[in-house]
């Protein structure tokens, strides 16, 4: 016989995300404050340059072909 462990009020925390900072309202609407990180541009063999953009508010990153 093992011990019966009870978990009272066990809630599912699946869709729970932490908000890093306030001011992410615009980001949610798709208006990110993109900043081009010039230190992290990559030259692709195909002759394309990938620019990494990072949002200074929410920290979202996006790569774009230049």
At 25 the three-state DSSP class reads: helix
Q: Which residue number, 20 or 48, has a Cβ lying nearer to Zn ion?
A: 20
Contact 28, 20 (CB under 8 A): no
d(CA 30, CA 62): 12
Q: How far is the CB of 42 from Zn ion (least distance, A)?
A: 22
Binding site for Zn ion (CB under 5 A): 27, 32, 55, 57-58, 60
Q: Which residue number, 52 or 55, has a Cβ lying nearer to Zn ion?
A: 55
At 53 the three-state DSSP class reads: strand
Q: How far is the CB of 22 from Zn ion (least distance, A)?
A: 12
């Amino acid at each position: 016989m093992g011990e019966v462990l009870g978990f009272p009020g066990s809630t599912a925390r699946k869709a729970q995300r932490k908000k890093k900072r306030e001011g992410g309202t615009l980001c949610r609407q798709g208006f990110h404050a993109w900043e081009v990180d010039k230190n992290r541009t990559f030259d692709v063999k195909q002759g394309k340059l990938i620019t990494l953009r990072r949002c200074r508010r929410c920290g979202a990153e996006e790569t774009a072909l230049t």
